[in-house]
Each structure stands twice: as C-alpha cells, then as structure tokens.
Amino acid sequence: MKTALAAAAIVLGLGALPALAQNAKPSEPAPRTLVVGTGGVTGFYFPAGGAVCRVVNAGRMRTGLRCLVESTTGSIHNLNALKAGDLDLAVVQSAWFAQAVKGSNVFTVEGANPNLRVLFALHGEPLTVLVRKDSNITEIADMKKRKVNLGKKGTAQRLLTDLLMETEGWTAADYSQAKELDPDEQLEALCANKIDAAFYVIAHPISIVQEGVARCNARLMELDGAKIRQLVAKTPFLARQVIPGGIYPNHPKETVTFGLQALFVTDARLPADSAYAIVKAVFENFERFQRLHPTFEALVKAEMAQGSVLAPLHDGAARYYREVKLAK
C-alpha cells in the first residue's frame, strides 16, 4: 500500500507531511496525498510523473493535493496497483492500458478493469528502427534474410515487432537471425555488426540513438508504408508517430513511424475535484511543465486532451477540457 511515500518525498524535495486535516484552517481544503506509479528511476516515466507532481504540488495550499512519485517496474505493475487501490495515478503505455481495460493477454487472470480513466496523453513512444548504414536496408522489405533483434517476449518492443511481422506476413524464420536481446544489449550488437537492425520503443530525444548515429554510423529508418498505415488505423492503441528532424546528427528531416503513447491515467474512484485540479495544474502551467523534460517540448494541449479511445476521460478531466474549449 503506497510503500514509497517517504522515498518519493525525498526525491521531490517536498519535505514533511502537512498538518492533519483536523488541524487545518477552516478555509483550507482537507489535505489529500496522491501517489503516482511510474517506472524505473532511469527511464522516462519516473521524471514524467515527477513533472506532473511538481506543478500539482505548487498549488497544494489552494487544492490540498500532495502528489508523490513512486518508482515501479512499469505499466503492468501500475495497472494492477491501480485496480487494487495501491496507487491513485499512473503513467502507462497505451498497449498495456488497452489490455487492462479488456482483461486480455497479461491481464487475463486479473480480468477487465472498466474503472480505468484517462486524464491526458503524454509523449509518443515510436517504434524506432536503427539500421547499419552499410546494410543497405531502406525499408521493411529489405530486412528479409537479415540479422535483426526482435526483442524479448512480453516487452513493448516485441509486441510491436510481432505486429510488424504479422503485417508483412512474416515469421521469425524469414530473417537470417531473429535475436531476442535486451534493449541495453542492442547497440553494442549493432556496432559490432552482429545485427543489421535494432528496434526501440522510446521517446525522443534520447542518448542511445545519439550514440548509435555517432558511434556506429547507424541511421533511423521510416516505417510508413500502406500496410503500416492500415495496421495503425485498425489498432486503437497505436498511433502515427514522427521523430523530429534535427535532433540527431545527419537527420535534418523528420522520420515517420508508428508506436505507442504514454498516458497519465487513474481510476474512477478518484474524486472529480482532484482529477480536475491535476489537469488544471498541468494545463495552466504548461510552459513550466514543458521545461521539466526535453520530451515534453513537443507536447500539444489539444492532442493531450484527446486522451485515449481506449477508456473514457475521467469526469473531472472532461469538465476542465469543456471549460477551456478543448472538448465538447
């Protein structure tokens, strides 16, 4: 039950808990502590949750909300913890969120969770393909009979590479080698010519791509053919993604691909006033929020407010979006 409150408070520099509700002045709202499940401290979700908490905590005297970040093992843990009531909020990947809503795949045992709600969408996580420049791979068809890393089973990387193979009508046997390396092992394998292509599901900009381009003479490859566009159109948890031009050496133009979305989500049990206050804090301090992480610089309010077709917006979030004309 919200085991990392003290540690999270230290990470965010929030100090001691406020006075108990019975000691609060009548004009002040009753304090409420909200815990956000994120991911590992070296990943994107931990700072994303921290950024939300910073803007929420800035208005704590007005709203009574105190937001704390908890480092977790990621989306699957967060979604199970939300259902159990061990977390109030979470940053999750759209693919796992879709499975949790339906109770499919890794959530078959736990069953469907119709109480999941979206507050807003965050950054995109495109399927990012790095290929060796000397491999002469320029499109998906060129990967046949080549050495690639599909990723470990049960990961977002493998989910998307499997969908890509299915779309092309391929199996692992269509590659000369189909490896199952961890993401951290890919770059060395690519640089050492042990694989011709590496797949990542990541937000940008990121150092691993910077290093691959600079040290391994690798380049980004687009994933934007007719079959891929059809795949995106029929798969609710996928979206067209664009890696901006100019953020990596020798890549002045944008790279079109597809991938997942990071979502900031909660449960229907969260009071509407709390959901409203969280969304308002982010959207009314938007420029400050964007400065808290390089990935947030490309965020667009209207796109964030669209949330997700995978589950309803929380009533409190929907109320704020209607007020500011971001939703009907």
Neighbours of 28 (CB within 10 A): 15
**Model pLDDT, residue 15:** 39
At 62, the pLDDT band (50, 70, 90 cuts) reads very high
Instruction: Determine the average pLDDT of the residues in 20-26.
Output: 46
Looking at the structure, tell me whether residues 92 and 15 fall in a common domain: yes
Please check whether residues 78 and 165 belong to one and the same domain. Answer: no
pLDDT at residue 28, rounded to an integer: 66
- Looking at the domain assignment, is residue 299 inside a domain? yes
pLDDT band at 183 (very low <50, low <70, confident <90, very high): confident
Q: Which domain holds residue 162?
A: 125-260
Q: Give DSSP secondary structure letters for 208-259.
A: HHHHHHHHS-EEEE----HHHHHHHHH-TT-EEEEEPTTSSTT--S-EEEEE
Question: Is there a single domain that holds both residue 112 and residue 228?
Answer: no
pTM of the model: 0.87
Task: Give yes or no for a contact between 11 and 69, defined as CB atoms under 8 angstroms apart.
Answer: yes
- Given a cut of 60, whether residue 112 has pLDDT beyond it is yes
Quickly state the pLDDT bin for 26 (edges 50, 70, 90). low
* pLDDT tens digits, 42-55: 889 999 999 999 99
Residue 112 within any structural domain of the chain: yes
> Are residues 246 and 131 part of one domain?
yes
Q: 148 and 118: one domain?
A: no
Using 50, 70 and 90 to split pLDDT, how confident is the model at 14? very low
74 and 187 share a domain? no
Same domain, 22 and 89: yes
Report, as an integer, the average pLDDT of 150-175: 94
In the predicted model, is pLDDT for residue 309 greater than 90? no
Output the average pLDDT for the chain.
Answer: 90
153 and 118 in a common domain: no
Q: Is residue 234 part of a domain?
A: yes
Within a domain: residue 236?
A: yes
Looking at 260, 294, 315, the residue that finishes a domain is 260
Let me know if residue 46 belongs to a domain. Answer: yes
- Total domains in the fold of the chain: 2
Least confident of 16-30, 186-200, 261-275: 16-30
Q: Distance of CA 170 to CAs 28, 92, 198, 257, 309, Å?
A: 61, 29, 17, 19, 29
Token readout for 138 is 């320029």
Residues 173 and 252 in one domain: yes
Given 260, 288, 303, the domain boundary residue is 260
pLDDT at 30: 77
pLDDT digits (tens, 9 = 90+) for 205-240: 999 999 999 999 999 999 998 999 999 999 999 999
Tally of CB atoms within 10 A around 59: 16
DSSP state of 192: T
- 131 three-state secondary structure: strand
Same domain flag for 250 and 270: no
Are 114 and 26 members of one domain? yes
Residues 78 and 104 in one domain: yes
CATH, residue 83: 3.40.190.10
Q: Name the DSSP letter for residue 298.
A: G
* Contact between residue 35 and residue 1 where contact means Cβ atoms under 8 Å apart: no
Give the residue carrying structure tokens 């770059």.
187
Q: Which of 226, 260, 294 is the last residue of a domain?
A: 260
**How long is the chain?**
328
Distance CA 167, CA 170 (A): 8
Asked if the structure places residue 95 within a domain, the reply is yes
d(CA 218, CA 209): 9
**Residue 328 belongs to some domain of the structure:** no
